Amino acid sequence: MSRPTSIATLALVILASACMSGPRYDIGALDMRALADEQAQQMAAHHAMQVRVDSLFLPLIRHGFCDETGPYYGFGYLTSEQFDDGLDRRIAAARGIGSLPHVVTVVPTSRAATSGLRAGDNIYHVNGIAVNSAKDLASALDRVNGVANIAVSRADGTSFVIAVEPEIVCPYRAHVVDGIGVNAFADGANVMVGRDMLDFVESDEELQFVLAHELAHNAAGHVDAMRNNSTVGGLIGAIADGLLGTYGTFASAGRRAGMRAYSQDFEREADYLAVYLLARANIDLSGLQNFWRRLAEGAGYQSLRPNDNGSHPSYPERTVRLRSAIIEVQGKVQRTEPLFPNTRSRAARNTPLPQAAPVERAQPPQTAPVGSTRPPQTAPVESTPAPPSRFVEVGPSVVALIQARDPIQLVRMRVAAREAKETTAYRDGNRIIAIAHPSGQIDFPER
């Protein structure tokens, strides 16, 4: 070790020991009760997001076309086993979560809900089989043939047997996941949607389009095909879709090269099938026209070329194709033709579940509903957006991000303007760098 390095090491040791003397101010004891309440509220917020996604996904798996089907109950549960030491099992216990499966989510439109199962119920028996863990419950539900008689105990000390007859649906499930940005992906069996995607979408229908696109990857067998096509070998975890180009998170560079040859066509097919999946579930398509265009705003000029290392078609192409798919499907709806895709893919041969009955749709409102931030459905014309009513002073690092059109920064600005419901100007001294509108539009005065 050279002398300067030793000196540096010594300096570090001295610094470290200086830090070890501990804090000098009395910040008081942590209120454990308040902590437990706060943990419960944050957990509940996550469960609410999962219920939103489950509720929007259910019509898609009810009315889709899938190569297999399976039972669906519509509830989620936790046990104390899922809490490690970091998430203190004592706090789980204080919330009534022990070794018995504790119901945390019930999808309002599911059989579980209509049969009377509630969040907070502890499950201890299914069709006469004792349940003592999450694994027990999973295997008891697997053995159900027909109706599941689920014995539960409630916090008020009452117990019931609740008979739930599962629905038969496409066997895929959707999950809200953290830390993947404005992204979603499919792994052949599941659909994962990033928490940030839930913020990005401007309507339930947009989120359903994302979910339907991922469901289509699973139903059309794209993930399996990608695994087989991968020239370099090894398993490819998933097909990822999104704004931030996190493809690399899921596959190494070599595997990506093998996947690229096929993946643009898979993406085109998933977009196309998604429109059919939505229409089959009676979901309104009219607000989806600009979904890819809005996502493209976060990608700068890159949006004009194939995205994510060439794995995805460009956003202009996806926008044009989405619009023509919507026209094709709306035509079939009007002519009351069955909603099957014009495709030779595996999905066309899959088991079609019954289509949702058409409902008399009310005329679309002339103005956006209260509380909705959905932009006008017509093609965007140069209207005069509101002048900024809110100003945010930014430092040099944020100025650089805005000037580089950093996608994460733009999404943050878009979400902030939408939540504040105010046109927000980002300024550096007296220069306005960007103006974010609640509609999601971002202007760059300095362009």
Query: Which residue ranges make up the site for Zn ion (CB under 5 A)?
Result: 241, 267, 270
Dist CA 206 CA 412 (whole Å): 18
DSSP state letter for 436: E
Type of residue found at 372: S
Q: How far is the CB of 220 from Zn ion (least distance, A)?
A: 10
Q: How far is the CB of 69 from Zn ion (least distance, A)?
A: 23
- Give 369-390 as a DSSP string: PTT--PPPSSPP----PPPP-E
Q: Are 117 and 76 in contact (CB under 8 A)?
A: no
What are the tokens at 86?
A: 């970091």
Q: How far is the CB of 228 from Zn ion (least distance, A)?
A: 17
Q: How far is the CB of 227 from Zn ion (least distance, A)?
A: 15
Nearer to Zn ion, 187 or 267 (CB): 267
Going by C-alpha positions, the residue among 161, 126, 122 that lies closest to residue 140 is 126
- Give 393-422 as a DSSP string: E--HHHHHHHHTT-HHHHHHHHHHHHHHTS
Going by C-alpha positions, the residue among 149, 164, 167 that lies closest to residue 70 is 167
Nearer to Zn ion, 196 or 267 (CB): 267
Nearer to Zn ion, 75 or 250 (CB): 250
Nearer to Zn ion, 212 or 281 (CB): 212
Nearer to Zn ion, 296 or 398 (CB): 296
Q: How far is the CB of 95 from Zn ion (least distance, A)?
A: 37
Q: How far is the CB of 382 from Zn ion (least distance, A)?
A: 32
Task: Evaluate the CA torsion angle 198, 200, 206, 210 in order and state its sign.
Answer: negative
Nearer to Zn ion, 148 or 174 (CB): 174
Residue 255 CB partners (closer than 8 Å, separation 6+): 230, 232, 234, 236
Dist CA 184 CA 41 (whole Å): 25
Q: How far is the CB of 74 from Zn ion (least distance, A)?
A: 26
- Give the Å distances, CA to CA, from 84 to 80, 130, 168: 8, 25, 34
Dist CA 272 CA 287 (whole Å): 16
Nearer to Zn ion, 296 or 436 (CB): 296
DSSP state letter for 303: G
Q: Are 194 and 182 in contact (CB under 8 A)?
A: yes
Nearer to Zn ion, 205 or 271 (CB): 271
Q: How far is the CB of 241 from Zn ion (least distance, A)?
A: 4
**Which residue's CB comes closest to Zn ion?**
241
